[in-house]
Structure 1
Amino acid sequence: MLLKIITLATCLTWNKGPEPTPKAIPAKGLLRHVVVVTFKTNTSMDLIRKVDISFKNLSKLSMVKSYEWGIVKDDKNPSKVKHVYVTTFKSQKEEDAYGKSPEHQKHIKLGAENIESVEAIDYFLP
């Protein structure tokens, strides 16, 4: 049986393509902006809902191409409440305009005292 597993494993290969290099990473095209907000343990559900609604309202801005969000399931630390917000833009220029918009500037102040941490990552779709 072990021989069959080893044989099967050696026959299966993963074609992952070339390794990404700084020159291979696109700097244009659709841009995803992912934000992970960790709320402090005693944050009320009402305030968390207000932050969720505020993110959703930002998705109505003209430069936003798509939006989705969800709640992180963290089995290692279930007391942490983390929400993930994903916004897609047509370009870096549009994301920059989004960040400078009055709506976004107002949004980032909402519930700031109840947010433990914010992590953000941007990436271009290949």
Structure 2
Amino acid sequence: MHTKAVSVATFKLWSLIVTAAMMSACLPQSALSDDAAPQLLRHVVLFQYKEGTTPEQIEEVTKAFAGLKGKISEIVDFECGTDVSVEGKAGGFTHGYVVTFKSEKDRDTYLPHPAHKEFVKLVGPRLQNVLVFDYWVKK
């Protein structure tokens, strides 16, 4: 009995710690003070490809997207992957890409950049749907 009570208390304590950590990590930029840790801007892009888009075409898009890091100096990092969630809530989006910037200004330079515009020309005709979501994180 005593062991079970300790386990429940330990679980509750860890739940509180995890909840507090998650809440502090997800603060809006306006909630962070000037002396807060340096921040990064994550630019999340989800793609739902049109039916009939081949694996080779998707690979071409992924390589071109990754290649933007070498063409646009404002990009700090690039990550990508396919949906592996077991929840079945991806809404048809199969591929995710995360582009990281140091500032909104850097993101705003990236968007109209000729290399990005060229990439959009490549990917656009292959997409059924796209979702873009930007958020701030502490380094």
Q: Distance in 1 between matches of 2:117 and 2:97?
A: 16
Q: Distance in 2 between matches of 1:34 and 1:26?
A: 24
Q: Structure 1 pair 26/44, CA: closer, same or farther in 2 (3 Å)?
A: farther
Equivalent AA in structure 1 for residue 78 of structure 2: Y
Give 5+ residue unaligned stretches, structure 1: none
Equivalent AA in structure 1 for residue 65 of structure 2: F
Counting only pairs closer than 5 Å after superposition, residues 46-57 of structure 1 correspond to structure 2 as 46-57=56-67
Q: Structure 1 pair 94/45, CA: closer, same or farther in 2 (3 Å)?
A: same
User: Residue 40 of structure 1 contacts residue 81 of structure 1 at CA under 8 Å; is this kept in 2?
Assistant: no
Q: Secondary structure at the match of 2:73?
A: coil
1:96 aligns with: 108
Q: Secondary structure at the match of 2:31?
A: coil
Q: Secondary structure at the match of 1:111?
A: helix
Q: Share of identical aligned residues, percent?
A: 28
Counting only pairs closer than 5 Å after superposition, residues 1-126 of structure 1 correspond to structure 2 as 4=4, 8-11=7-10, 12-13=12-13, 14-15=16-17, 16=20, 20=27, 23-24=30-31, 29-60=39-70, 61-75=72-86, 76=88, 80=92, 82-126=94-138
Q: Say what the alpha-carbon RMSD is for the aligned residues.
A: 2.9
Equivalent AA in structure 2 for residue 116 of structure 1: Q
Higher helix proportion: 2
**Normalised by the size of structure 1, how large is the TM-score?**
0.78
Give 5+ residue unaligned stretches, structure 2: none
Q: Structure 1 pair 25/116, CA: closer, same or farther in 2 (3 Å)?
A: farther
Number of residues paired by the alignment? 123
**Normalised by the size of structure 2, how large is the TM-score?**
0.72
Q: Structure 1 pair 43/21, CA: closer, same or farther in 2 (3 Å)?
A: closer
Q: Structure 1 pair 21/9, CA: closer, same or farther in 2 (3 Å)?
A: farther
Equivalent AA in structure 1 for residue 41 of structure 2: L
